Structure 1
Amino acid sequence: MRASLLQIAVDDAELPQDRRERVAALVRAQAGADLVVLPELWPLGAFSARLWAEGAEQLDGPTADAMAAAAKDAGVWLHAGSIVERDPDGPMYNTSLVFSPSGDLVSVYRKIHRFGFDQGEAATMTAGQELAVVPTPFGRLGLATCYDLRFPELFRALLDAGAELLAVPAGWPARRLAHWRLFAQARAVEEQCVVLACNTAGTHAGVPQAGHSMVVDPWGEVLAEAGTEETALTVDLDPSVVSRTREEFPVLKDRMLR
């Protein structure tokens, strides 16, 4: 399978609608890939809390419409990163969207662990309650988002739900780049999964982003890693590496606590 991680630069000077159109064109340019992954909250910015209430969308909003069309045009599975979702009943969520190559919305994941220590996301958004694992032709894709990386129990639950690949969109800041690398590799080794960790580039709300999107195999080897600029990071994977690794080194069979 061919996976493309689109490390999008988020800049305060770019209007959300202009960014949607630009990102849709970038997705279409990935025709020939099997899976495309975008970062967390790229339409508004993961640290741009002042924009969230006004820019929140429902699941049939402008970002979903643009990404559904782009996925269909490119013929790819698209993890469209996440949006600020406004539930019709009022709450806001940090919500990831996954589209099939026909442009259908096939899975939604509302971020469970909200960052901010009672400020920002933690103060304004509601926590999700449900895991999401998406069956695809290249394996079962488990969904997590950014700060979730710090909570290994979530990834154990995704493993137990059948995940073989883990897609992790993020808006991870540059000042904690070392943690980003550490956690992406740790989750790959712990769960014996392929991790596709897609971060933002640029600076928004005064916060420089770490970039360094990466693809990590079940042994913890970084197969591909971006720098700090906007880029399309593309890697060819053999999804059978997950089953082979679990067979060759069957550490998961020795789990005692569940």
Structure 2
Amino acid sequence: MAPLRTALLQGPRGVPDGADEALAALDDAAARAAARGAALLATGELFLSGYALGDRMAHAAEPADGPAARTVAAIAARHGVAVVYGCPERDGARVHNTARLVGPDGRTLAAYRKTHLFGAYERAVFTAGEHPVVQADLGGVRVGLLICYDVEFPEAVRAHALAGTELLVVPTALMRPYEFVAHTLVPARAYENGLYIAYVNRCGPEGEFDFAGLSCLAGPDGAVRARAGAGPELLVADVDLEVLRGARAETPYLADRRPELYRSLGPSG
């Protein structure tokens, strides 16, 4: 099977001037990704709204079938590229920090609501999701979704690995001074679970936050296939299942687990 060529859109700098600006940037990136042979384009956390909206986040949030979602679907279908994007999602009175996977025909394949909210700001603005593993098949690859802080919990990534995820896409808003997460923790998560992680960050200052960039595609063999710097960038690299199978055979962490020894951790251990 041919590798799944994957594009990672790092950026933008600052809060977009409404969803229309973000959608125009997404359309441009989808065209460039398609021209480079990518079948999947992934963006950062809350790409459509920006992260530092505070109380305005509720106003920016749309339902799952809102106008921004319909525009993303049209972008994906126009360029023939699947898209993972971050957005605030309204569900009644609740607002979720959501990542959505749209197929190359514009059809929604999966939607994940961030389960681990980071800090007082996110807990004040969002309601946490309750479904830790959300997946879909794309071009023969099992794609899973997490968001930013989620990937820092080993249980969350291991749950995906055990459920068969091969490419874990993680829209992110990693702030300074936590660059070690991108440099060290994410490649380690990919290696210890035998999967690819597309870690797609925002970059630059935004309100009180300063995002670190450093987006990467980390491989199941411990190698980083592509790494961004501190500014806006479009990375393209391949997800190769032959490499994944070889890595899992060489370092069989999943096969060698002994769950009966871990019960003492307990449900909250």
Tell me the TM-score range normalised by the shorter chain. over 0.9
Q: How does 1:111-150 map to 2 (within 5 A)?
A: 111-116=114-119, 119-130=120-131, 131-150=133-152
Deviation at 1:251, TM superposition (A): 2.5
1:44-72 per-position Cα deviation (integer Å, ceiling 9, x unaligned): 22233232011111112232122111111
Aligned match of 1:176: 178
Among 28, 45, 52, the alignment partner of 1:25 is: 28
- Distance (Å, rounded) in 1 between the aligned partners of 2:25 and 2:217: 24
- Distance (Å, rounded) in 2 between the aligned partners of 1:213 and 1:143: 16
> Where does structure 2 lack aligned partners over 5 or more consecutive residues?
263-269
Among 88, 106, 109, the alignment partner of 2:109 is: 106
Q: How does 1:44-55 map to 2 (within 5 A)?
A: 44-55=49-60
From the superposition, tell whether residues 250 and 13 of structure 1 become closer, same or farther in structure 2 (CA, over 3 Å).
closer
- Distance (Å, rounded) in 2 between the aligned partners of 1:62 and 1:220: 40
Q: Quick check: 1:243 aligned with 2:245?
A: yes
Aligned match of 1:74: 79
- Distance (Å, rounded) in 2 between the aligned partners of 1:219 and 1:23: 31
- Distance (Å, rounded) in 2 between the aligned partners of 1:12 and 1:41: 10
Aligned match of 1:11: 14
- Distance (Å, rounded) in 2 between the aligned partners of 1:83 and 1:10: 16
Deviation at 1:179, TM superposition (A): 2.2
Deviation at 1:237, TM superposition (A): 3.4
Aligned match of 1:60: 65
Deviation at 1:13, TM superposition (A): 6.5
Deviation at 1:239, TM superposition (A): 2.3
Matched letter for residue 84 of structure 2: H
Deviation at 1:190, TM superposition (A): 1.5
Deviation at 1:165, TM superposition (A): 1.1
Checking the alignment, whether the CA contact within 8 Å between 2:40 and 2:83 is kept in structure 1 is yes
Deviation at 1:85, TM superposition (A): 0.6
Checking the alignment, whether the CA contact within 8 Å between 2:167 and 2:239 is kept in structure 1 is no
Q: Quick check: 1:97 aligned with 2:100?
A: yes
Among 89, 107, 110, the alignment partner of 1:85 is: 89
Q: Quick check: 1:154 aligned with 2:156?
A: yes
Q: How many residues are paired up?
A: 254
- Distance (Å, rounded) in 1 between the aligned partners of 2:16 and 2:197: 31
Matched letter for residue 58 of structure 1: P
RMSD: 1.5
Q: Secondary structure of 1:253's partner?
A: coil
Checking the alignment, whether the CA contact within 8 Å between 2:221 and 2:244 is kept in structure 1 is no
- Distance (Å, rounded) in 2 between the aligned partners of 1:233 and 1:28: 14
Give the percent of matched residue pairs that are identical in Structure 1 and Structure 2.
Answer: 33
Q: Which moved more, 1:43-52 or 1:153-162?
A: 43-52
Matched letter for residue 186 of structure 2: A
Aligned match of 2:266: none
1:8-58 per-position Cα deviation (integer Å, ceiling 9, x unaligned): 213136333222222222223221311111110022222332320111111
Checking the alignment, whether the CA contact within 8 Å between 1:138 and 1:239 is kept in structure 2 is no
- Distance (Å, rounded) in 2 between the aligned partners of 1:141 and 1:110: 15
- Distance (Å, rounded) in 2 between the aligned partners of 1:13 and 1:60: 21
Among 1, 5, 8, the alignment partner of 1:2 is: 5
Aligned match of 2:267: none
1:83-131 per-position Cα deviation (integer Å, ceiling 9, x unaligned): 11110x2111011110111000111001110111xx2111221111112
- Distance (Å, rounded) in 2 between the aligned partners of 1:220 and 1:42: 28
- Distance (Å, rounded) in 2 between the aligned partners of 1:26 and 1:251: 37
